[in-house]
């Protein structure tokens, strides 16, 4: 009997855990991953943007329809692709940590090359050739813009550009 | 017996409350016995430099600035110990485009993920804190399509978003007093020894199995979010297992293929 009780309790906890681990759901709050995420008039990435949502701001999810979530703001309601939402508050993108100059505050904090301390480590370990290769790799990666990624998603029917709603 | 049942219930409730806190960001209850802060800053100019760094610290207690120093140095070791990088623009662009299509849906938007191919025949993949993801040339040539490549990259991205390496580092004694309040490396020899130790772990025995299974689950969820096939990782692991079994030449820093396949199958149903 006690074993049965313990088993049931465990099953309850596990199933509750699975529910909690689920993605965004109606009736719960959610955060957008990226500042300026458009709130769309319809369940399509090409729909009219009604507003721009703020990162680190908690929004209410009022409805889920396939891969889209209906979000309510103070003034309006609209749709966001569920992949762009998180139940957990994303970390702050804080340029001040890097003592960023005002002229490059548009760069994300981590959009920088191999850290100087990592380069010095490479020099001390006689691994400068590897450091140079990482710099090359970073240049190759940084040549890909956000619009390139968006075009790639669109071309390959991925994310919000996927087939079906 | 009653006592053990009660303990079990309390332990489970504690686990559940911790989980709920992580999911919903429920603030911790302040400790009434903790001393009050001696001088709470009242304006931004009062915030000390280490206070700014603290604001950016994640669950691991390591700031983003420190993560990039550690991750960059570990990335150097990964490249140095695995035959260097394949400097092929087309191959790197393919991997980077798939990787960035995944990372655009990940839960660490503050990171700029970078993807590269290591010049070795072995089949493996690595990640370093700060957003560095590497696959080997052997793996690049083994995947059947972009779906499988995305599945492997999503697994590695998940190690970073879940801060698996940072959690190991934060438990390591070498972190204490390593960085000055301005964020510079304060003790060069401790830094070097600490990085070598982390690199030895990541490229020797790898992450603990629970972190690997966690990255398998999270990676699958990330791939699905980005619109890739949910079970492409499972398909790829089965494909490798059919050719190589649990050979140490495949993903030798990860749990045996058969274990990962079994777990993924169980969590698929």
Mean pLDDT of B50-61: 44
Instruction: With H, G, I as helix, E, B as strand and everything else as coil, classify residue A71.
Output: strand
The pLDDT of residue A40 = 97
Mean pLDDT of B11-33: 35
Q: Do A144 and B73 touch (CB under 8 A)?
A: no
Q: Which carries the bigger pLDDT value, residue A89 or residue A11?
A: A89
User: What are the chain B neighbours of A159 within 8 Å (beta carbons)?
Assistant: 101, 104-105, 225-227
Nearest to A98 by CA among B49, B177, B36, B115: B49
Closest chain A CA to residue B6: A6
> What is the total count of domains within chain B?
1
B29 pLDDT exceeds 50?
Answer: no
For B265, other C-beta atoms within 10 Å of its C-beta total: 13
A48 pLDDT exceeds 80?
Answer: yes
Per-residue model confidence as pLDDT tens digits over B99-142: 999 999 999 988 999 999 999 999 999 999 999 999 999 999 99
Q: Which carries the bigger pLDDT value, residue B254 or residue B104?
A: B104
The pLDDT of residue B19 = 38
Per-residue model confidence as pLDDT tens digits over B146-163: 999 999 999 999 999 999
Check: CB of residue B241 under 8 Å from CB of residue B258: yes
B144 pLDDT exceeds 50?
Answer: yes
Do the domain assignments include residue B11?
no
Q: What is the ipTM of this complex?
A: 0.78
Do the domain assignments include residue B197?
yes
| Alpha-carbon gap, residue B76 to A121, rounded angstroms | 9
Q: Which carries the bigger pLDDT value, residue B24 or residue B142?
A: B142
CA B181 to chain centroid, in Å, comes to: 26
| Alpha-carbon gap, residue B36 to B14, rounded angstroms | 26
> Which of these CATH numbers, 2.30.30.40, 3.30.300.10, 3.40.50.720, 3.40.50.1820, describes A22-91?
2.30.30.40
Distances (CA, A) of A82 to A23, A27, A39, A79, B158: 8, 14, 12, 9, 18
A81 pLDDT exceeds 50?
Answer: yes
Residue B123's domain comprises 59-268
| Alpha-carbon gap, residue A119 to B71, rounded angstroms | 11
Q: Do B20 and A20 touch (CB under 8 A)?
A: yes
The pLDDT of residue B16 = 41
Give the DSSP per-residue string, A16-61.
HHHHHHS---TTSEEEESSTTEEEESSSSTTSPEEEEEPBT--EEE
| Alpha-carbon gap, residue B76 to A120, rounded angstroms | 11
Q: Exposed, middle or buried, A128 (CB in 10 Å: 0-12/13-18/19+)?
A: middle
Containing A62, the helix (H) or strand (E) segment is: strand A59-65
Angle between helices B89-103 and A146-155 (to 10 degrees): 90
Q: Do A124 and B16 touch (CB under 8 A)?
A: no
A20 pLDDT exceeds 70?
Answer: no
Q: Which carries the bigger pLDDT value, residue B135 or residue A93?
A: B135
The pLDDT of residue B231 = 93
Q: Does A106 touch chain B (CB under 8 A)?
A: no
Do the domain assignments include residue B50?
no
Nearest to B131 by CA among B100, B152, B94, B101: B100
| Contacts with B181 (C-beta within 8 Å, 6 or more apart), sequence order | B48, B49, B50, B53
Q: Which carries the bigger pLDDT value, residue A101 or residue B184?
A: B184
The pLDDT of residue B251 = 79
Indicate the domain borders of chain A.
22-91, 109-165
Do the domain assignments include residue B44?
no
User: What are the chain A neighbours of B96 within 8 Å (beta carbons)?
Assistant: 140-141, 144
Mean pLDDT of A6-27: 53
- Residue A95 pLDDT grade (very low, low, confident, very high; cuts 50, 70, 90): very low
Spatial strand order of the sheet with A59-65 comes to A49-53, A37-40, A77-81, A68-72, A59-65, A29-32, A85-86
Do the domain assignments include residue B68?
yes
Provide the mean pLDDT of chain B: 79
């Amino acid at each position: 009997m006690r074993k049965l009780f313990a088993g049931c309790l465990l099953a309850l906890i596990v199933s509750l855990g699975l529910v909690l681990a689920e993605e965004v759901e109606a009736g719960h709050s959610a955060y957008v991953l990226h500042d300026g995420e458009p709130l769309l008039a319809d369940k399509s990435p090409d729909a009219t943007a009604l507003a721009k949502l703020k990162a680190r701001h908690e929004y209410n999810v009022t409805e889920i329809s396939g891969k889209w979530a209906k979000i309510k703001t103070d003034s309006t309601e609209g749709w966001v692709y569920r992949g762009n939402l998180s139940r957990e508050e994303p970390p702050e993108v804080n340029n001040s940590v890097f003592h960023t100059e005002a002229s490059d505050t548009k760069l994300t904090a981590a959009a920088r090359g191999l850290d100087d301390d990592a380069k010095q480590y490479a020099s001390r370990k006689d691994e400068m050739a590897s450091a140079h290769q990482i710099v090359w790799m970073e240049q190759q990666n940084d040549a890909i813009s956000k619009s390139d990624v968006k075009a790639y998603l669109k071309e390959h029917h991925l994310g919000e550009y996927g087939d079906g709603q | 017996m009653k006592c053990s049942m009660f303990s079990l219930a309390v332990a489970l409730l504690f686990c559940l409350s911790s989980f709920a806190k992580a999911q919903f960001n429920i603030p911790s209850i302040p400790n009434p016995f903790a001393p009050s802060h001696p001088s709470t800053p009242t304006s931004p100019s009062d915030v000390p430099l280490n206070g700014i760094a603290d604001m950016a610290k994640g669950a691991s207690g390591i700031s983003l600035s420190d993560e990039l120093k550690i991750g960059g140095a570990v990335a150097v070791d990964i490249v140095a110990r695995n035959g260097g990088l394949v400097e092929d623009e087309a191959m790197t662009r393919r991997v980077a485009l798939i990787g960035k299509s995944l990372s655009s849906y990940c839960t660490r938007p503050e990171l700029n993920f970078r993807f590269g191919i290591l010049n070795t025949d072995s089949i493996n993949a690595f990640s370093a804190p700060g957003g560095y993801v590497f696959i080997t040339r052997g793996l690049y040539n083994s995947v059947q399509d972009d779906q499988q490549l995305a599945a492997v990259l999503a697994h590695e991205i998940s190690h970073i978003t879940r801060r698996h390496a940072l959690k190991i580092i934060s438990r390591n004694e070498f972190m204490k007093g390593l960085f000055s309040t301005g964020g510079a490396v304060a003790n060069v020899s401790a830094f070097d020894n600490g990085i070598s130790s982390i690199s030895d772990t990541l490229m020797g025995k790898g992450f603990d199995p629970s972190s690997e299974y966690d990255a398998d689950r999270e990676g699958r969820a990330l791939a699905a979010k980005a619109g890739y096939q949910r079970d492409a990782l499972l398909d790829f692991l089965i494909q490798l297992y059919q050719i190589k079994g649990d050979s140490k030449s495949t993903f030798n820093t990860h749990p045996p293929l058969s274990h990962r396949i079994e777990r993924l199958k169980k969590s698929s149903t």
